[in-house]
A = this chain, B = another copy of it.
């Protein structure tokens, strides 16, 4: 591991100047500081083993996910992470992030500049600028629902979506449904691509026909409802799996407006088990993401990366929560 002295020698400057730059002293010019930071990152310098008395800092980088209140999706994820990280002596900062902020500074530089030794990354889409940085970054990053191939400093955590989708399809099949449709959010997110593939894989695993016309995806829930849902109903779909509880909830409401009974006419399954999903009408059958456990997994993974055990993927078992939005096929006469 590079030391301050190594960096100083490489740049032909004093160790004191390097130290000042890395600690944000005001008497170092912005240009010098930038060069020193970049060189430090390049040489693999880390603050992980320095300053024994100062708590080490981790950050949660969060985008597109609400987290401030208990009913928000991100709340338990962060709480589970904190529950293990803080007793282990880490300070955890939660940083709401945007594409714009990512464009200002490369990931590794940002982390070194702010003394963060590792991050838990939530809600980034494939088009986020730092998703490119993560392909070669050196500072440990655990990404929720995003997979980076071949960078030993990153871990993908999430639930096992294949397992979840198989549980959902199997449940519908056991209820007698054979024509099963799928409504999904936009496929610009890694996790939406994974669930989309998992849906067709689960159909095949259950001996059902896998036909791409039985799926529809859109960024806008309204478009899913107005364009794809009527099309799937026309195809004779009696079971419907949705990539998110919000879509499933919209589909329940929309079907009811079309005077279809849920679940007598159509069974609907969501994904996530958001807190509200127990209170939809009817209460929703859904694949649960144990968010507090996922937060704990994120800490396990980050701790491993910091200890140079390079976990690439860590998936929680999926669980199907059966409520009243699914029921036996009432065969048409």
Binding site for B on A (CB under 8 A): 149-152, 160, 163, 166-167, 290, 293, 296-297, 300, 304, 309-319
Q: Are B309 and A163 in contact (CB under 8 A)?
A: no
- A87 → chain B, closest Cβ, in Å? 13
Secondary structure at the A interface, as helix, strand, loop or mixed, is mixed
**Chain B residues whose CB sits within 8 angstroms of the CB of A315 once the complex forms:** 311-314
Q: Are A314 and B313 in contact (CB under 8 A)?
A: yes
Q: How far is the CA of A309 from the CA of B311 in the complex (A)?
A: 17
**Chain B residues whose CB sits within 8 angstroms of the CB of A311 once the complex forms:** 297, 300, 314-317
Ranked nearest first, the 8 interchain pairs of A and B with the lowest CB-CB distance are A312-B317, A313-B315, A310-B317, A160-B312, A152-B317, A293-B309, A314-B314, A296-B309
Contact of A316 among B167, B293, B312 (CB under 8 A): B312
Closest to A312 in B: B317
**Chain B residues whose CB sits within 8 angstroms of the CB of A149 once the complex forms:** 163, 166
7 contacts between A and B (CB under 8 A): A149-B166, A293-B310, A300-B300, A300-B304, A312-B318, A314-B314, A314-B315
Closest to A290 in B: B310
Q: Are B150 and A313 in contact (CB under 8 A)?
A: no
Q: How far is the CA of A293 from the CA of B152 in the complex (A)?
A: 12
- A305 → chain B, closest Cβ, in Å? 10
Q: How far is the CA of A320 from the CA of B173 in the complex (A)?
A: 42
Q: How far is the CA of A316 from the CA of B300 in the complex (A)?
A: 13
Q: Are B297 and A304 in contact (CB under 8 A)?
A: yes
Q: How far is the CA of A55 from the CA of B316 in the complex (A)?
A: 28
Q: Are B160 and A317 in contact (CB under 8 A)?
A: no
**Chain B residues whose CB sits within 8 angstroms of the CB of A293 once the complex forms:** 309-310
**Chain B residues whose CB sits within 8 angstroms of the CB of A318 once the complex forms:** 150, 312
- A98 → chain B, closest Cβ, in Å? 29
Contact of A150 among B152, B167, B290 (CB under 8 A): B167
- A136 → chain B, closest Cβ, in Å? 14
**Chain B residues whose CB sits within 8 angstroms of the CB of A166 once the complex forms:** 149
Among A311, A313, A317, the one with the most B-chain Cβ atoms within 10 Å of its Cβ is A317
Q: How far is the CA of A163 from the CA of B156 in the complex (A)?
A: 13
Q: How far is the CA of A313 from the CA of B155 in the complex (A)?
A: 12
**Chain B residues whose CB sits within 8 angstroms of the CB of A297 once the complex forms:** 304, 309, 311
**Chain B residues whose CB sits within 8 angstroms of the CB of A304 once the complex forms:** 296-297, 300
Q: How far is the CA of A229 from the CA of B319 in the complex (A)?
A: 44
Q: How far is the CA of A149 from the CA of B170 in the complex (A)?
A: 13
- A241 → chain B, closest Cβ, in Å? 17
- A275 → chain B, closest Cβ, in Å? 20
- A249 → chain B, closest Cβ, in Å? 26
Q: How far is the CA of A312 from the CA of B159 in the complex (A)?
A: 8
**Chain B residues whose CB sits within 8 angstroms of the CB of A317 once the complex forms:** 150-152, 310-312
Q: How far is the CA of A312 from the CA of B289 in the complex (A)?
A: 13
**Chain B residues whose CB sits within 8 angstroms of the CB of A314 once the complex forms:** 311, 313-315
